[in-house]
Chain A
Amino acid sequence: MAFAILLFLAGIFLPGTLQAAGNHVVDDAHAITSGEASEVAAMLDKTSSAYGVDVVIYTIPSLGGSDATSVADDYYDYNDYGPDGILFLVSTESRQWAISTRGTCIRAFTDAGQAYIIDQIKDYMSEGNYYSAFKEFAKLADDYLKQAKDGKPYDKGNLPKKPFKGVRDAIISILGGLGIGLGRASLLKAETKTVKEAKNATGYLADCQITGAYEYVTHREFHRIERSSSSGGGGSSTHTSSSGATHGGSSGSF
C-alpha cells in the first residue's frame, strides 16, 4: 500500500524520469509552448503507432561544437526508441537541423524525399515559427509512411504534389492582369497622337556601298558553369553512427 502511494507520488513529482522512452516531442530548447508540444506529440504518437515506427522531434539550444547528424543519431540510438524510426533535430541557437533515419524509415525517407520536406518547412524555421514547421513535418511524415507502406516511397521523380499557393498566384494574376490592362489602355491612348517628328531618312536611302568593315577582339572572359551534383537516380544514402547502427539522413542550416 505504501509502495503504491510512493510510486504514485514519484509519478507526479518526478516527471523528468518519464521523459525518454517513447516520447515523441522533446523540446529542450523550449522552441514551442507546452500546449503546442502536446498537439504535435499527439500527431506523432498517432502516426508512430499506426506504422509501428517512432517519429521524433528533438530540439536543443546549442550543438556545443558537435555536428548535427551525430547528435541526432546518438539521441535516437541511446533513448529507447524502436529499431525503425526518424528523428528531426533542430538546434535553435546554432540554427542547424538534422534528420536521422533507422531501419525501415531509411527507405521511407529517401534523400530526395527529405530534401522536399525541408524545402516545405524551411521558411517557417527561418522565421522562428517552429510550431508550424513541426506540424507540417508531422503531416508530411505521416504521408511519407503511408506512401512507403503502399510500396511507393517518395523519391526523385515521385514527390508529393506541392500545395496550391493561392495567395501568391492571386497576386501574380492581379499584377499581370493590371499590367496587360494598362498596356492596352496606353496603346489606345497613343493612337490618338499621330503627329511625330521624323527621326531618320530610311525611306530615302537610294544606295549603300559598304567600303570598310573590320573587327577585332579586345578581351575575353571565361565563366565556369557549376554543374549541380545530384545523387544519381534517387534512393537513400546511409552512414554508421557511434553506436554501430546504420542511419540514413541529412542535415543543414536555416
Chain B
Amino acid sequence: MEYKCQSCGGSMEFDSASQKLICPYCGASFDPAAYDASMQDGGQGQPAEGQQVGEFDETQQLGMVNQQEWNVNEDGLMSYICKNCGGEVVGDESLASTNCPYCDSPIIRNDQFAGMLKPEFLIPFKVDKKTAKEKLNEFISSKKLVPAVFRDQKHIDEIKGVYVPFWLFDADVFAEAQFKARRSHHVPNGEEIEYYDVYRSGELSFRNIPADAASKIEDAMMDSIEPFDMNEAVPFSTAYLAGFMADKYDVSPEECMKRGLQRIKSSADETLGHEVNHFDSHTLEASNVVVRNSASHYALLPVWILNTTWNGNQYRFAMNGQTGKFIGDLPYDKSLYKKYFLRTAIPAILIIFAVLFFIWWIR
C-alpha cells in the first residue's frame, strides 16, 4: 500500500516529530488514525458501505496493495511492481512495510496485518533518523576503549526504522519460595547463631513483558533497548507504518512465553527475597511459580537499526525509537586497554604507598 496525499497525490510518510502523516511534496499533513478510517477498508476485513466483500475499487483504495499484486518467486521471495516508478520491490514472506528501493515511496502489504494478524497496538516513532545518526556518534565517542580509527570513520552502511513485532505478556501468578536464613546476637560469654527455614508466597501481577517475535532480530538486542513506555501506545493503524519497515511475527506466542516465564520466575524469586527481613543473611533454596492466568498482546514497537562494517566485521546497533536508548556491542583496542590500565595503576601504587608511609609516620 502506498499512502497517497489527498492534496497532490505524492507518497506520504509518517513523521515522528509531529506524529502525523506528512506529504514531502506539498507539505500537507493528516492524522494517521483519521486518514485510515476515511479510507476503504479492504485489508482490514470490513468492507466499506456499498462495497461487496471481495471487490476492490482501485481509485478509492489510494494505493493499497492487494495480496494478488504480490507475486511469489521461485526462491520463495515475493515481489511487487511499484506503482510510483515501476521498479521491482522484493521481500520475504514476513515483509509488511518497506520503501521502494528506487523512489523511496512507502509500500505496505496490507494483508500482513489482516484479521487475526492485526496487531493490537503500536508505539509510534518519536525519534527521527537524524537523531539516530547523531546518537550513534555520541554513543561511539563515549566508549573510551573504542579504537580511534573506528570512531573516526563515521561510515554507516545502513540505517532503517523498523516496527519490530513483539508479544507482550500479561500474567497473574502465584509464587512461593523457600529460604535458609541466619541471625546472630550477643549473649554473655559469646555469641548465639540461630538458623531458620523461611517461607514466603504471594500473588504477583505482571503486565506487558515484551518478547521479540521476529526470528531475524536478535532477542538480546531487543531486551537491551527496553523499557518502552506503553502509555504512549495507540490502537494499530497501518498509516503509522508509512516510511518505516515492518515485519509480521514469525515466532509464536507460546515460544516467546518460555522466555517470558523465565523472567517472571526470576523476578518472583527476587521480589519474595526482599520480603525476608530481619536476618543477617539468607539464601534461596527452592521456588515455584504457577500461572493463574495470562494474556498475550501483539504489538509493533519502534526500533532504529544501524549497521556498520569495520575490519571485516559487521557491527549492529539498535536504538529504542521511542526513548532514544542506544545499544550495540563495540570492538575495543587492546593498546588503549593497556594505556588506561597503566594510567590508573601507577598513580594508585604511589598513592597507596604514600598513605601507608604516612600512617606509619604519624603513629
Contacts and interface: CB of A to CB of B under 8 A. Distances in A.
B227 A195 contact: no
Contacts of A216: 196-197
Given A176-B348, A223-B193, 12 more contacts: A162-B360, A176-B349, A177-B345, A177-B346, A185-B340, A188-B143, A208-B205, A211-B201, A213-B201, A223-B192, A224-B190, A225-B191
Contacts of B357: 164, 169
A164 to B, nearest CB: 5
Nearest to A177: B349
5 contacts: A188-B337, A191-B143, A211-B203, A213-B201, A222-B193
Interface string B222-237: 0110110000000000
Nearest to A174: B349
A215 interface: yes
Given A197-B219, A204-B209, A221 B267 contact: no
For the complex of A and B, list the 10 residue pairs with the smallest distance between their C-beta atoms, beginning with the closest. A181-B345, A177-B349, A198-B223, A212-B201, A177-B348, A200-B266, A173-B353, A201-B263, A185-B341, A207-B205
A46 interface: no
Interface of A: 161-162, 164, 169-170, 172-174, 176-178, 180-182, 184-185, 188-189, 191-225
A217 B271 contact: no
Interface string B328-350: 11111000011011111111111
B345 A212 contact: no
Interface of A is mostly: mixed
A206 B267 CA distance: 12
B33 interface: no
Contacts of B176: 212
A189 B205 contact: no
Given A172-B352, A182-B341, A211-B201, A202 B224 contact: no
Contacts of B226: 198, 203
Nearest to A192: B330
A170 B360 CA distance: 13
Contact of B192 (A200, A204, A222): A222
A177 B341 CA distance: 10
A205 to B, nearest CB: 6
Contacts of A193: 329-330
